[in-house]
Amino acid sequence: MNAPFYKFGLFGEDASLVVALLIGIGFGFFLERAGFGSARKLAAQFYFTDLRVFKVMFTAIVTAMLGVFWLSWLGLLDYTQVAVPSTYLIPQIVGGLVFGIGFVMGGYCPGTCCVAAATGRLDGFVHLFGMISGILLFGELFSFVEGFYHSTPMGRATLPDLLQLPFGLTIFLIVLLALAGFAAAEWLEGKFAPSTEEAGS
Amino acid sequence: MTMNPDSEMSNLTTPQPYMSPYLAGIGLGLVLLAAFVIMGRGLGASGAFTSFVAAGVGTVAPEYARSNTLYAEYLGAPGTNPLKDWLVFEIIGVVIGGLISGALAGRVRRDVEKGPRISVNKRLVFAFFGGGIMGIGSKLARGCTSGQALTGGAMLSIGSWAFMIAVFASAYAVAYLFRRQWQ
């Protein structure tokens, strides 16, 4: 097996767009299954009443991370051919702080508002429209923030580099952290969640 | 806190309960892993909308769009269609997949997601400006919860983990200000 298949030329760009559509269908399906088409379910994360956002995100990260690790270890996947988002540390932290305000205020993130809109939630559609407007505003004012946008570049920088730990050990520590996080999340929900939980509402 | 009467009402349409968050997370993780293995790249969302914006500006004012370095990056080489893009096709899939899951579970309905103490109009104003703020944040951070937190998180990118921690820290810090919208 020569993975990533696309990087090794097993199919071309047109076929990659079909793959994009299929991957997107799977992505949207599980976002909706997780309850992320509902802003109330998403926002509940920040009031400790339902910590789904944390649980789903970290389960997904750990699943994909372990998959990449084991497939690479077995020699089936060339890890160096998988794209790692380049780090621009300070703009990404500031962007995250701004993003978090938008999350609690708008109730969705860029992917989940699409799922909300697709399942008939008007606020999801409005959030989507607001987001496009925000991106347009950013684009129009880009010349003013361009210097900051390109600041603190670190390239393909990963946690094992930062912590100076072996790749496998870093992954093991993240799994432990996630398991501790899940235990803490269950405990917090027991304290904060309303006693009668209405599933699926 | 007393029971929300709205949730009693919506039970008349009997939507199915949501999937266990751990199972849904494994499902999402396997989709992400499939993207890594098949394409050598991860998921995304905000990038698709930047392509839409760049394509829109490029249609109205082609020369101006080319002169803007952000739009130019998303317009690609001259003569190519900026909407013939991996993330654009992926986000169309997200809409379809969300609709399939929602329809199978009886969760597709016209509704506005909000707490009982806020009017529909106010909620929509919050949704618009929240979406706008998020759009700006996602561009500063070069991605969102999909492209940075999930994809970069699984690939152990330092910037993605910093972004994720910043998102949670900021959302928890301001949650109290927006509590009337949700509780």
> 3-state secondary structure string, chain A?
CCECCCCCCCCCHHHHHHHHHHHHHHHHHHHHHCCCCCHHHHHHHHHCCCCHHHHHHHHHHHHHHHHHHHHHHCCCECHHHCCCCCEEHHHHHHHHHHHHHHHHHHCCCCCHHHHHHHCCEHHHHHHHHHHHHHHHHHHHCHHHHHHHHCCCEEECCEHHHHHCCCHHHHHHHHHHHHHHHHHHHHHHHHHHCCCCCCCCC
Q: Write phi, then psi, for B111 (nearest 5 degrees).
A: -160, 165
- Please tell me if residue B17 touches chain A, with a CB cutoff of 8 Å: yes
**Is some CB atom of chain A closer than 8 A to the CB atom of B144?**
yes
Which residues in chain B have Cβ-Cβ distances shorter than 8 Å to A17? 84, 86, 89
Domain identity same for B102 and B121 = no
**Residues above pLDDT 90, as percent of chain B:** 89
Residue where one domain finishes, among candidates B93, B110, B127: B110
Confidence of residue A1 (pLDDT cuts 50, 70, 90): low
Over residues A89-105, the mean pLDDT reads 98
Residue B151 has pLDDT above 90, yes or no: yes
Gap between the Cα atoms of A69 and A79, Å rounded:
8
pLDDT for residue B3 is more than 90: no
CA distance A53 to B172: 13
Residue of chain A nearest B108, judged by CA positions: A119
pLDDT band with cut points at 50, 70 and 90 for residue B79: confident
Q: Are residues B102 and B123 in the same domain?
A: no
Which of A55, A64, A104 lies closest to B29 in CB terms?
A: A64
B6/B20 same-domain check: yes
Question: Is B6 found in the same domain as B83?
Answer: yes
Residues 6+ away with beta carbon under 8 Å from B142: A85, A86, A88, A91, A92, A95, B148, B159
Cβ of A200 within 8 Å of Cβ of B16? The answer is yes
B47 and B75 fall within a common domain: yes
Asked if residue B11 has pLDDT above 60, the reply is: no
Confidence of residue A196 (pLDDT cuts 50, 70, 90): low
Average pLDDT over residues A109-115: 97
- Report residue A50 CA to chain centroid gap: 18
pLDDT at residue A53 in the model? 97
Residue among B19, B95, B140 whose CB faces A33 most closely? B19
**Do the chains contact at A55 and B22, CB–CB below 8 Å?**
yes
Helix segments in B13-157, DSSP class H = 21-39, 46-60, 62-67, 69-75, 86-104, 120-140, 153-154
pLDDT at A197 over 70: no
Residue at token pair 């393909």: A156
Question: Chain A within 8 Å of B87 (Cβ-Cβ)?
Answer: yes
Closest B-chain CA to A170 = B156
Residue B6 with chain A: CB contacts under 8 Å: 201
Please give the share of chain A, as a percent, with pLDDT higher than 90: 94
The one-character DSSP state at B111 is B
Separation between Cα atoms, residue B166 and residue A145, nearest integer Å:
19
- What is the pLDDT, as a whole number, of residue B94? 98
User: Distance between CA atoms of A46 and B55, rounded to whole angstroms?
Assistant: 35
- A169 vs B77 pLDDT, higher one: A169
Q: Supply the mean pLDDT for chain B.
A: 93
Measured between CB atoms, which of A81, A87, A126 is closest to B131? A126
Q: Do residues A43 and B182 make contact, with C-beta atoms less than 8 angstroms apart?
A: yes
Contacts of B37 in chain A (CB under 8 A): 3-5, 67, 71, 77
Q: What is the mean pLDDT of residues B150-172?
A: 98
Kindly state whether residues B120 and B82 are assigned to the same domain.
no
Residue finishing a domain among B94, B110, B126: B110
What global pTM score does this model have? Answer: 0.93
Q: Which domain holds residue B162?
A: 114-183
Range scoring the smallest mean pLDDT among A190-194, B63-67, B117-121: A190-194
Domain boundary among the residues B73, B90, B110 is at B110
CA atoms within 13 A on the CB side of A185: 21
Q: Check CB contact of A43 with chain B, cutoff 8 Å.
A: yes
Q: How confident is the model at residue A39 (pLDDT cuts 50, 70, 90)?
A: very high
Number of structural domains found in chain B? 2
What per-residue confidence (pLDDT) applies to A194?
Answer: 74
Domain boundaries, chain A: 1-82+164-194, 85-157
Question: What average pLDDT does chain A have?
Answer: 95
pLDDT at B13: 62
Interchain CB contact of A145 with B (< 8 Å): yes
- Is the pLDDT at A67 greater than 60, yes or no? yes
Question: Mutate which of A30, A58, A87, A140 to disrupt the B interface (most B C-beta within 10 Å)?
Answer: A30
The reply to whether B162 touches chain A by the CB within 8 Å rule is yes
* Contacting residues of A for B8, CB less than 8 Å apart: 198
pLDDT tens per residue across span B82-132: 999 999 999 999 999 999 999 999 999 999 999 999 999 999 999 999 999
A110–B102: do the CB atoms touch at under 8 Å? no
**Whole-number Cα distances in Å, A37 to A17, A79, A165, A200, B118:** 25, 33, 38, 11, 19
- On whether both B89 and B2 belong to a single domain, the answer is yes
Q: Is the pLDDT of residue A156 over 90?
A: yes
Confidence band, pLDDT 50/70/90 cuts, at residue B143: very high
**First-to-final CA distance of chain B:** 9
**What is the per-residue pLDDT for A146?**
96
The pLDDT value given to residue A192: 87
Q: Tell me, yes or no, if B112 comes closer than 8 A to chain A by beta carbon.
A: yes
**Chain A residues near residue B153 by CB distance under 8 angstroms:** 57, 61, 65
Q: Are residues B21 and B102 in the same domain?
A: yes
Beta-carbon contacts below 8 Å between A and B = 558
The residue assigned the tokens 């398991």 is A179
pLDDT for A195? 61
